[in-house]
Structure 1
């Protein structure tokens, strides 16, 4: 019996290859697109620290490194919502979540 070939693939390639994972791939892309839309509105010090989190039919989550960042992002929510709507993204609530890994990125 010939040895099996073990070929490594990136997560993106694995998602592309598995039809059952296409909805997950679409949600990841939608979340990333939303973050790209609002990133210019974020304070310069937070642009690299804020991460796109999960998205579903009702809400989108932003991951921030600490509570001070969460407070600042909450102040910006009206402007962020306006930018998302202007860019044609479907309306969803925005949830801010402090996530420790966001700081160590």
Structure 2
């Protein structure tokens, strides 16, 4: 790979670096899933839910607290049904608390 000393567009960098391209593809898929269910998220909760990646049919949503998680748990079946109706291959949604993300 040749070094450049000029700015390039992210799409061009992704095309030239397969790992970055895969990462961009995963990010787009998570954003598409998020756009699919956003109308079904109560407006007061939208700012408290962040969309994570989809891996092996499991989508991770990051929530800001217990109250948000409790409401999200009630809505999970509706969200899954919407995702499946729209053709997304998500079989399970996992909720993670913000700040409790450990690798």
Q: How would you bin the TM-score normalised by the shorter chain? A: 0.7 to 0.9
TM-score by length of 1: 0.78
Q: Does 1:15 pair with 2:14?
A: yes
How far apart, CA to CA, are the structure 2 residues paired with 1:7 and 1:61? Answer: 36
Secondary structure of the corresponding residue to residue 76 of structure 1 = helix
Over 3 Å counting, the alpha-carbon distance change for 1:48 and 1:14 in structure 2 is farther
Deviation of 1:9 after TM superposition, in Å, equals: 5.4
Q: Please give the root-mean-square deviation of Cα atoms over the aligned residues, in Å.
A: 2.1
Deviation of 1:91 after TM superposition, in Å, equals: 2.9
**Corresponding residue of 1:98:** 97
How far apart, CA to CA, are the structure 1 residues paired with 2:31 and 2:66? Answer: 22
**Corresponding residue of 1:45:** 44
TM-score by length of 2: 0.79
Tell which deviates more after alignment, 16-25 or 66-75: 16-25
Secondary structure of the corresponding residue to residue 93 of structure 2 = strand
Structure 1 unaligned regions, length at least 5: 101-105
How far apart, CA to CA, are the structure 2 residues paired with 1:82 and 1:32? Answer: 17
Count of aligned residue pairs for this structure pair: 97
**Corresponding residue of 1:103:** none
Structure 2 unaligned regions, length at least 5: none
Tell which deviates more after alignment, 4-13 or 19-28: 4-13
Deviation of 1:13 after TM superposition, in Å, equals: 5.6
